[in-house]
Structure 1
Amino acid sequence: MGYRWVVLCVGALAQGTNAAVFLGLPAISPQLQQHFSLTLPQVGLLLGAVNLGTMIALVPWGVVADRRGERLVMTIGGLGAAGCLLSVALGNAWIAGLALFAAGLFGASVNAASGRAVMSWFSSGSRGLAMGVRQTATPLGAALTAAVLPGIAISAGVPTAFVALAGVTAFVALAVALLVREPPGAVRASADHGMILKDPRLLRLSLASGLLVVPQFTATALLVPLLHGHRGMSVTAAAAVFGVAQALGGAGRLAVGVWSDRVRNRIGPLKIVSIITAAGFVLVAVLDQAPLPLLIAVVAPTSVFALCWNGLAVTEAGELAPEGRSATAIAMQNSANYLSAATTPFLASFVAVHVAWPAAMVLAAAAAVTARVLLQPWRSLRASSPQNSRSVS
């Protein structure tokens, strides 16, 4: 096995471990509420601290990764996040909130730096698949955490659950320190990063990505409430539909990555997925009161398409960057995603409850259509970029 696959595996493991914190912790919301004596909205604020810290730190970590290398960044970030998670286990609600905010600040290092590692080791012809593997680690890490962490929290207590998360995070950080290195001839940035951050195509891609997170997190936040609370399906069956959609969405990230490699284009598939997602949410809105099997037959694949596109946008962001600056570009693109991820669940839920469920679905569709419009005037520079012709094995 080529060393590049070792880098990919370790990078994906780091990505999945980071997702265990910002996507997996909601699985123990009831235990957090009881342990810290919080209301449900207060638990939401507690968990949102991770996303806030991540959003703030993404671009600075990306700049450091481009200048100092991904191994240093992911190691320091991982060990720092582990220490913060350990602090959650030792403190009260206020300390937990600050510690989770700090865990987001440190954990943000993984998002940009692991992407840079993949960009460095894989050429354009296989980068879509590689980034798809990396992105698939996010829902898989969240799913595994959701399956394991509640049992630990219930049987051994919330502090033990955070100790376990801290231990896994520290272990992965050490694996990064031992196993990840840059390819021969890797370029590090030594000048101002303002040029890439002001690139109008990167700004447009970032905005489009943030808009596509709206249907993605609408599906994530509202699928179970839609089927269970709104349509009366059992919570177990609704959760099963949610789980299947998440698993297929993860597999879809691999599929669209391979697709983009074969057509040697990231934006073309991203445009198509955007339109299919928009059409799916419009259909869900129309079928709001349709027979339940018919609604499920539409909402499940719509959720899959809403979940599968991330690798395309991340890869395009890295390929837009001048050589040696991919981490900064990926961090810029991810910042818009985290901002949208932090606001969409509340906004979508508010519209569903206080306006109408179909209105929330139409809002998600409108965001996907707007993203598609932003991606329309796109011309790829991939063929002429030295970074995108690199091939390392």
Structure 2
Amino acid sequence: MAQDASAPPRYRWVVLAVGAVAQGANAAVFLGLPAITPQLREHFGLSLPQVGLLLGAVNLGTMLTLVAWGAAADRHGERLVMTIGGVGAALCLALAAFDGAVVAGVALVGVGLFGASVNAAGGRAVLTWFPAERRGFAMGLRQTATPLGAALAAVVLPVVALRAGVPVAFLALAGFTGFVALAVALWIREPPWAVRSGSGRHGVVLKDRDLVRLSAASGLLVVPQFTAAALMVELLHDHRGVAVGVAAGLFAAAQVAGGFGRLAVGVWSDRSATRVQPLKALSVLVAVGFALCAALDRAPVWLLAAVLVPTAALALCWNGVAITAAGELAPPGRTGIALGMQNTANYLSATVTPPLAGWVAVGVGWPAALLLAAAAAAGARVLLAVPFAARQLAPELP
């Protein structure tokens, strides 16, 4: 049953705008908090490994509840799910401001548990509102909010934490998250053609071979993405002697280029015969790029950077198309759980990749870490080789 049968088709842009802001707010937490790592260490008295565990708590909570939130969105709609999730995340962020490291860690797990609602339900809202020929662009726009939200948090949070303290930084995030939850409650609606699911039968989605294969390929594509995110500055600065400001600037350039690349790839997928075709091409390009970076490990640093920056940007571009493909592969009324399944693979890989890639870089060498990223992208291309079933999320929309 739709929540608002009178909502005009152009209302889809309101839903997209609110969904993108919600996605950016979520990214400001799980990708923005690492920007205040030194302040967190000082405030809580933590070692570097301990603060790593603290920051990883958000990803842990998110990974555990993505499928459950997706199933809830399929049954009860996006507005209820995202509002509850946003309010819960805001309360947990506020709790993190008022006690020690243990309570903060538990609170951040709670932030992930509630914040995961945005990933599954927000994607379902966009995919339901937009017709097939615009879904790639719409989802690319929504996913561009992730690096933009992270970048904004990386600029603002350190200033707040330095001038007012870590508790105020947590409260600022709580206030913003709560404001976004209010916007969701006021402006997110379902279109008249939305299909709700009943209870049970989630195994139909979780056992779908195409969705499992797409989710596995997505998880593998996260490996080069998060290898670059975690190690690019370290590679250029500590390993090759680039000034830290220049290394950080090159990293930021790759992030911005990758964000706009998500839009371009989304448009490409709208004009392609299949969503999977751009994923195949990107998998090859990323694999070749990281392999070339490994070969250029001792080349002049300008040459290494000239290959590394566009490769890191390409490693960001695939995400929106993969989410769109997962939604279109889902049976009617099961879009949320399909997106939750695909995102779970992403978050699992995002949790494992930084420590694994760092261990390989230190224990084996930087070329080996780069080749690991290349091998993961090549593995994704192998998984995508078998044709996917031709399915459509919904009939042609107004």
Q: Does residue 255 of structure 1 match 2:261? A: no
Q: Does the aligned pair in 2 maintain the 1:282–1:365 contact within 8 Å?
A: yes
Give the TM-score of the pair, scaled to structure 2.
Answer: 0.97
Other-structure match for 2:99: 91
Q: Does the aligned pair in 1 maintain the 2:210–2:389 contact within 8 Å?
A: no
Other-structure match for 2:64: 56
Q: Does residue 295 of structure 1 match 2:304? A: yes
SS, match of residue 190 in structure 2: coil
Residue of structure 1 aligned with 2:380, choices 360, 371, 381: 371
Q: Distance in 1 between matches of 2:99 and 2:111?
A: 14
- In the TM superposition, what are the counterparts of 1:1-393 in structure 2 within 5 Å? 2-191=10-199, 192-382=201-391, 385=392, 387-392=393-398
Q: Distance in 1 between matches of 2:27 and 2:193?
A: 31
Q: Distance in 1 between matches of 2:298 and 2:102?
A: 43
**Letter paired with 1:258:** V
Cα-to-partner distance string for 1:48-72 (whole Å, 9 max, x where unaligned) = 0000000000000000000000000
Q: Distance in 1 between matches of 2:388 and 2:215?
A: 16
Alpha-carbon offset, residue 185 of structure 1:
2.7
Q: Distance in 2 between matches of 1:103 and 1:190?
A: 28
Q: Distance in 1 between matches of 2:355 and 2:162?
A: 27
Q: Distance in 1 between matches of 2:121 and 2:291?
A: 37
Alpha-carbon offset, residue 219 of structure 1:
0.6
SS, match of residue 218 in structure 2: helix
Cα-to-partner distance string for 1:226-279 (whole Å, 9 max, x where unaligned) = 000000000000000000000000000000000000114210000000000000
| Number of residue equivalences | 389
**Letter paired with 2:34:** P
Q: Distance in 2 between matches of 1:271 and 1:257?
A: 14
Cα-to-partner distance string for 1:94-127 (whole Å, 9 max, x where unaligned) = 0000000000000000000000000110011000
Q: Does the aligned pair in 1 maintain the 2:137–2:263 contact within 8 Å?
A: yes
Alpha-carbon offset, residue 322 of structure 1:
1.1
Alpha-carbon offset, residue 284 of structure 1:
0.2
Alpha-carbon offset, residue 390 of structure 1:
3.3
Identity across aligned pairs (percent)? 66
SS, match of residue 261 in structure 1: helix
Cα-to-partner distance string for 1:120-174 (whole Å, 9 max, x where unaligned) = 1001100000000111111111011001100000000000000000000000000
Alpha-carbon offset, residue 197 of structure 1:
1.1
SS, match of residue 315 in structure 2: helix
Q: Distance in 1 between matches of 2:273 and 2:155?
A: 37
Q: Distance in 2 between matches of 1:67 and 1:94?
A: 35
Q: Does the aligned pair in 1 maintain the 2:128–2:394 contact within 8 Å?
A: no
Cα-to-partner distance string for 1:14-66 (whole Å, 9 max, x where unaligned) = 01100111111000000000000000100000000000000000000000000
- In structure 2, runs of 5+ residues without a counterpart are 1-8
Bigger shift: residues 67-76 or 320-329: 320-329
Alpha-carbon offset, residue 324 of structure 1:
1.3
**Letter paired with 1:186:** A
Q: Distance in 1 between matches of 2:36 and 2:223?
A: 24
Other-structure match for 2:3: none
Alpha-carbon offset, residue 186 of structure 1:
1.3
Q: Distance in 1 between matches of 2:284 and 2:197?
A: 37
Q: Does the aligned pair in 2 maintain the 1:136–1:250 contact within 8 Å?
A: yes
SS, match of residue 97 in structure 2: helix
- In structure 1, runs of 5+ residues without a counterpart are none
Q: Does the aligned pair in 2 maintain the 1:124–1:264 contact within 8 Å?
A: no
Alpha-carbon offset, residue 389 of structure 1:
2.9
Q: Distance in 2 between matches of 1:311 and 1:288?
A: 31
Q: Does the aligned pair in 1 maintain the 2:210–2:388 contact within 8 Å?
A: no
Q: Superposition RMSD on alpha carbons, in Å?
A: 0.9
SS, match of residue 201 in structure 1: helix
